[in-house]
Structures are given as structure tokens and as C-alpha cells.
Amino acid sequence: MTYLISAVFYSDCRRTIIKHFAAFLLLFVQLNAWAEDSLVLPIGLDTSDYIIPGDNPITDAKVELGRLLFFDTRLSLDGTVSCAFCHSPQFAFTDGLMVSRGIGQQTGNRSAPTLVNRAFSAAQFWDGRADSLEAQVTGPMTNPIEMGMPSLEYVTGIVSGIPGYRDRFQKVFNREVNIEDIARAIASFERTILSGNAPYDRFQAGDADAIDESAKRGLKLFEDKARCNQCHSGSNFTDEKFHNIGVDWDGGTVDLGRYLVTGQAADIGAFKTPTLREIALTGPYMHDGSQATLEETIDFYDKGGNRNPFLDVEMARPTRSLDMMLTMFEDKTNTGAKSLPAEELAKLNLTSQDKLDLLNFLKTLGGEGWQRIEPPVSFPQ
């Protein structure tokens, strides 16, 4: 096989980092010395780290096994829910719902994030509680609302009880079915869900006509007045960090987000910055799906988010110390107070034309790569 190589490889026991040097329409990269296997990386992903764990090299056979498992509803307790139930190719690997549903049509409390370009991130889930795709994969399987399996051992038993899967695991891993290899296979498949070569990427590569004048103005706003790139940075348009922008602090129960993972006061109400790749297709938006459209989302940022004492420094003009805010939070929790003094908001003051231009720019982030993925016609028996 012939490969167009424009990459430098840095390897350690945890990851392989792929960086492009030039703009090719499609880049074929040989990974981990697997002569028969290749991964197609669309143009535009040249500033991000493509993570492949040292103990889980990508092969075509492993990716295909992962694809079968990803779409297989037999991995859920009632046989109705697969990974694709919440991450469907029809919705750019989201589900199009405000909050996701699982077995028995139960509803969760967070919106399903897209799986597009998740290979470029270590922390997974909105709160970052999983440190790899392999760790993320097994979480929904035993979640009582999502796939509902009683244990990971039960999942292993279901898969190993299917002769067609047993044969595939022997060929791919040279051993019997186990939950670690189930996770490795699905994670390998998820690493092939990519988006790049968007109009924005072609514009950045020198094609001045790839985006229109409104989108060009929107790009300038994105980088300047609207301050979007303070969090949505890099080629995948995310800083891979966690921020409180005031989502769901406008009444009702507050989701504490990253704080539930770290216990750190600075993480109260903070959630992971999502990629903006394919943003026009992945609504509704925010971790709770509270913004139905991109227009609503832009308005949310324009007003500075919802008022709360823990707004991220990028969203607020700090008026109090973290210790003071934490004390207020504890007082509210202990006394049942109905409200907290709110941090002063930093508004963007966008005009109607600004908002339209920003919207048109965001639409230029729809690319290609993930569209080639289709559900299996049949499954192992």
C-alpha cells in the first residue's frame, strides 16, 4: 500500500501523536507500524493530538469489531439500546434530544455530546470522569438509565455467548472475550469518527473563496469581540478544559458538573468545552440541551451566561475571591437559601449583524469523514 506521509510521530507508552506539515485533501497515515492498516485524517486537524494508547494500536479488523459492538443493541439489558442509540450517524453522532434516553425510555439529565473527533481528547464525558475512550466506553453499559446491564461481567457473558463474536475476538486479540478488549474495540472504532476538510479548513489552507464574506467577518468576531476562541481553540475548537458559563443556573436544580469528580471549588458548575466541529448538526446545545438552536446559543453567550457566583473567569468580571464564593455556596447548601449573590456578567454586546456573521462562520465548521460510517447490515450470531 502507498501512503502519503506528512507527519512526525512521537511515541511513548501512552500515545501516538500525529501532526501534519502540509495541507492535503486527505492524509493517509500508517500507524504503529501496521503495514496493512491505515487511518484517513481529513485536512485541518494538524494542530491537535491524535491519541492512540500504547496497549491499543488501531487495526482495520479491530475497528470493524468495534463498529459491530457499537451498533449492537444486545449490549443493553432489554436489547433495545446500543451506543449508537445516543450517538447516531443520523445526527453527527449525537441523538438530537435535549437529554438522552435509555432503556425503557428513561431520561438522563445531560445531552449526548458528539463523538466526532473524540480521538483528540483524553478526558471524556461532560464532566471528564473518564480519562480515555476505553474508560468511557463501559460507563453507559452499567448505567441503570442508559444500557442497564447489571455488571460488566454480565456484558462479557452476553458477548462471549455469541459464537460469531468469540471468533472475531480470537482473530483480533488472540484470546477469549473480556471487557477490556470489548472497550478497546469500541474505542478504536470511535477513533475513526472524524471531521475535517470543512470550508473553514480550506479557507485556512489558502482558498479565499471557501467561505463567504459574512463568515469571514464571523471568524474575526470569533477571535476578537465574541471571545469564542478563549475556550474553543485549536483545530478541534476546544481547549479540553472545564468551565462554568452559567448553564442551568437560572432556576431549579443545579448540576455541579466537574465538581462531582474533583471536589474542587473551582470546578463547581464547570463542564468540558465541546468541539465546534459539525456544530450546525449537533443541537440542541450545552450539557443540558437547554439551547435549542445556534441562534439561542449565541444569544446566551451575548448576555454573558446565567448569573451565578462561580462563573468562569472568561465569562465574568470577578468581584469576589474563590474562598468567599465557596463559603456562600456552603451557606446556601446548609441553610436552604433560595439564591446566591451573582457574579457580575461580562456581556459581548453583539449587533444583529454580528450574530448573523458569527452563525455563518460556525456553519463553515461542518466537514467530512464521519459520513462514511454506516450501521452494519448484520451482526455476528
- Cβ atoms of 37 and 46 within 8 Å: the answer is no
Q: Exactly one of 134, 146, 278, 368 is catalytic; name it.
A: 146
Q: Which three cell numbers stand for residue 176?
A: 477469549
Q: 288: closest CA among 254, 334, 323, 241?
A: 254
| Residue partners of 250: CB distance under 8 A and separation at least 6 | 306
| Residue whose C-alpha cell is 457499537 | 70
146 has catalytic annotation: yes
Residue 245: C-alpha distances to residues 4, 219, 307, 311 (Å)? 42, 21, 9, 6
Alpha-carbon distance 115 to 110, whole Å? Answer: 15
Alpha-carbon distance 29 to 46, whole Å? Answer: 13
What letters, b where the CB count within 10 A reaches 16 and e where it falls short, cover 290-308? bbeebeebbebbbebbbbb
Biggest alpha carbon–alpha carbon distance for the chain: 68
| Residue partners of 220: CB distance under 8 A and separation at least 6 | none
Long-range contacts of 211-216 (CB under 8 A, 24+ apart): 211/361, 211/364, 212/360, 214/356, 214/357, 214/360, 214/361, 215/357, 215/360, 215/361, 215/363, 215/364, 216/361
| Residue partners of 80: CB distance under 8 A and separation at least 6 | 73, 103
Q: What angle do CA 322, 324, 329 make, to 5 degrees?
A: 90
Q: 119: closest CA among 28, 62, 54, 52?
A: 52
Phi, psi angles (nearest 5°) of residue 142 = -105, 5
Question: Using CB atoms within 10 A of its CB, is residue 136 exposed (0-12), middle (13-18) or buried (19+)?
Answer: buried
Active site positions, annotated? 146
